[in-house]
Amino acid sequence: MSTRGKSVPGASAAPATRRATTPADAQAYLSDAVQRTVLFVDALLDRGNNYREHLDRGTPPLLKFEHELVLDGRTLKRPCNYALLRVIPPEDLPARAELRPLVVVDPRAGHGPGIGGFKNDSEVGVAMRAGHPVYFMTFRPQPEDGQTLSDVMHAEAVFLETVIQRHPECAARPVVVGNCQAGWAMMALDATRPELFGPLMVVGAPLAYWAGSSTLNPMRYAAAALGGSWLASLTADLGADRFDGAHLVDNFERLNPANTWWSRYYRLWSEVDTEAARFLEFERWWGGYFRMTGSEIETIVEQLFVGNRLARGEVLADGRPIDLRAITAPVVVFASQGDNITPVPQALDWIIDTWGDERAIAAAGRTIVYVLHESVGHLGIFVGGEVARKEHDQLVASLDILESLPPGLYEMRLQAKDARDVQRWDSLEPGDYTVHYEHRTMQDILALNPEGRDEEALFSTIAKVSEFNAQCYKTLMRPWVKAMASRGVGDAIGGMHPLRLQRQLLSDASPAAPFIRGLAAQVRARRKAADPDNPLREVEQRLDATMTALLHAYRDQRDAYAVRFARTVYGPAGFGRWFRPDAPDALRAHERALQDIAQARDEVLARIDEGGFAEAVCRIVLAGMASIGAFERRSLRLARLLAQLPPRARASVPAGIDWARMLKEQARITAVAPVEALNALQTLLPDRAARERALALAAAVMMIEPTLANPRSEIIEFLMGTLDADPQRVIALARSLTSAVRVPAAPRRGRRRPPAA
């Protein structure tokens, strides 16, 4: 997790009174420090053993749960190193056949697979507790010869087809979770094969690669210092068409040198009695380094990271452009303000560059929801236990609502339930949180980037310089490099990478290992920790704070220099003179959006008066929720129950109507012609009785909104006047509808109540 802009633990002022250090304190602390050092080195030996054991086993996925192979990508017509696994549920958590399957796809960005399910509180664990059949897309450490990203995309499509075929009793399409790099990969696949997808959740996934700021994500300036993508091509060519993922991991580690070089090891040393197990569990995953082909890394760097072509629709798959607007199922984007690898602008600004206007999203019938965490770091989005028990748990619990939401752009907000205020409708909300879907605009997304998007012109120039340099390398140098490279030499060089060496050298294969193991056994037999109030422990903590602050200062100076270098060399006074930046993607998208909205408006106005009672109710509900500014999850579930009431209780509300589908259709109309849609209500509801029933049903749906003490809201008040309805009859009918609803009992499995606010 990034600590940029935050106070450093332990850096606060010293207490006013401090106990003097006695000889006994010094002796106790020295003994404790020596013992901790022995146990610290012993833990590093365990890390090295785990690394070697994992290699000997073929580097399998580090899933916490039992699993079985369903389909091996090496057997496909276009072979690749991916495979489909089924997670076998334990006996006490059987999968429910009526629930749609959930597929987790882990990132292939240097590390091996497993982060989405290597803890009980994880994406896989949450889905299993909810009863979903769970599948996992994994990959092997070495790619197949000649493998491309298109081959991987083809295999992933076959995997989803297989999952669908294995669950014929479930009509709904699978839910897909794409973590980090797998997020943009699944977005691309969804855009080309939308019929395979239910809701798609992209977690910590970079999709707008130029977005961000000089303080949020300095990694985006790396291409400027390296001259673009040519170095990635050279590295892959030196490995005989193999790019070592250890280089990517090393880039991640350099982002936070304080944690990489000091904090994680100090934490292990200072709390070795309790921290070793957690350290080893995480390092088992962090220490796996997987390779890509040259084609794969070139496509990723040239087309995505440096080129930023995905949101523009310029990335090709089998010769066809990938247009993210073709995704039909809901998309959920999960990002965090504390993520310095995929900051919030990189996770969200693709929405602006792809759609240009939130009305265009609704007019096209699409639904996009984003969820923001306040502070967790990049890896915490996937492995944080609190995140799994809160955000991931509620996302899985809301799958039925995501496809019922009217088209548009929303932010999903979670509010902890108050245990002292259990209301009748709380059983419509599983778990410990109330969920709101608040309407958002493009300006809301722009406001999440404090520095704006002006500097993206700089990255347009960097991309053009990168393309020029890459072409020069491929023409002048690549033939010579490939002629000299060999796979054996490349593997030998990879084995000497510092990240591998530090694990290989500190293991039981080391000549000093028996001596260290013997000392560690003696220490455990006579272990005595220094008292927490030992004055020298305070000195130790101050040293930790000082080292952390110094390394943060080094990082900040380094990043500031990278920013100045990029602005000077690639700005208007540098390469920007000859490689002029293109017009902003957001401007192009906005112009296209206005054309689409105008066209949709013309189509809608031609049939604005078509329909009857059901269409009118949907328009009133949409107008009411728009005036409130949000939908509540329990409101939509209440609407579903209202539609299932028997005829007498429904007060003549028509039966057999697909309300979810109709709500989406009417949302498209109200998005582009909101005034005309409400003005047409008098035509859709020709008599007073129908108008009062429609207002009552809409009011019943909105009755549980916290802003409404009764079934009346501003929009309902306004429409009662324009439709000449009797308020008393509307209120009475609304209350009779809600009183007739029989709310099912809330599920209890997996519920955990947070501390009272």
**What element of type H or E holds 556?**
helix 535-570
CA distance 390 to 379: 16
241: left (phi over 0), alpha (psi -120 to 50) or beta: left
CA distance 543 to 484: 49
583: left (phi over 0), alpha (psi -120 to 50) or beta: beta
Q: Is residue 677 part of a domain?
A: yes
Q: Residue 757 has what pLDDT? A: 29
Q: Is residue 82 part of a domain?
A: yes
Question: Is residue 84 within 8 Å of residue 135, measured between CB atoms?
Answer: yes
Question: Is residue 235 within 8 Å of residue 244, measured between CB atoms?
Answer: yes
Whole-number percent of the chain with pLDDT over 90: 56
> Which of 392, 427, 455 corresponds to the end of one domain?
455
CA distance 341 to 347: 10
Q: Is residue 2 part of a domain?
A: no
Q: Residue 629 has what pLDDT? A: 80
Structure tokens given for 11: 């850096």
CA distance between the termini of the chain: 25
Q: Residue 118 has what pLDDT? A: 75
Measuring CA to CA, which residue among 318, 298, 296 is closest to residue 149? 296
Measuring CA to CA, which residue among 379, 360, 297 is closest to residue 122? 379
Question: Is residue 135 within 8 Å of residue 85, measured between CB atoms?
Answer: yes
Amino acid code (one letter) for 244: D
Structure tokens given for 290: 């997987």
Q: Is residue 264 part of a domain?
A: no
Q: Which residues of the chain have a pLDDT value below 50?
A: 1-3, 5-16, 421, 650, 705-710, 748-757
Read off the DSSP letter of residue 575: G
Task: Decide the pairing of beta strands 316-317 and 320-321.
Answer: antiparallel
Q: Residue 7 has what pLDDT? A: 40
Structure tokens given for 507: 């293991």
> Which of 410, 440, 455 corresponds to the end of one domain?
455
Question: Is residue 691 within 8 Å of residue 723, measured between CB atoms?
Answer: yes
Q: Is residue 517 part of a domain?
A: no
CA distance 153 to 190: 10
Q: Residue 314 has what pLDDT? A: 92
Identify the CATH number of the domain in which residue 312 sits: 3.40.50.1820
CA distance 209 to 187: 15
Indicate the number of domains in the chain.
2
Measuring CA to CA, which residue among 218, 205, 210, 248 is closest to residue 112? 248
Q: Residue 712 has what pLDDT? A: 53
- 10 Å Cβ neighbour count for 578? 10
Q: Is residue 556 part of a domain?
A: no
457 contact partners, CB below 8 Å, separation of at least 6: 576, 581, 584
Place of tokens 């220094």: 530
Q: Is residue 281 part of a domain?
A: no
- 10 Å Cβ neighbour count for 737? 25
Q: Is residue 711 part of a domain?
A: yes
Tell me the pLDDT tens digit for each residue of 388-438: 778 888 888 888 888 888 899 999 998 877 655 455 556 677 667 788 899
Q: Residue 502 burial (CB < 10 Å; 0-12/13-18/19+)? A: middle
Tell me the pLDDT tens digit for each residue of 39-95: 999 999 999 999 999 888 888 888 889 999 999 999 999 999 999 999 999 888 888
The domain in which residue 181 lies consists of 67-226+293-455
* Per-residue 3-state assignment (H helix, E strand, C coil) for 423-484: CHHHHHCCCCEEEEEEECCHHHHHCCCCCCCCCHHHHHHHHHHHHHHHHHHHHHCHHHHHHH
DSSP string spanning 253-292? Answer: HHH-HHIIIIIHHHHHHHTHHHHHHHHHHHHHHHT---EE
**What element of type H or E holds 321?**
strand 320-321
Rg of the chain, C-alpha, whole Å: 29
> Which of 455, 480, 498 corresponds to the end of one domain?
455
Q: Residue 528 has what pLDDT? A: 93
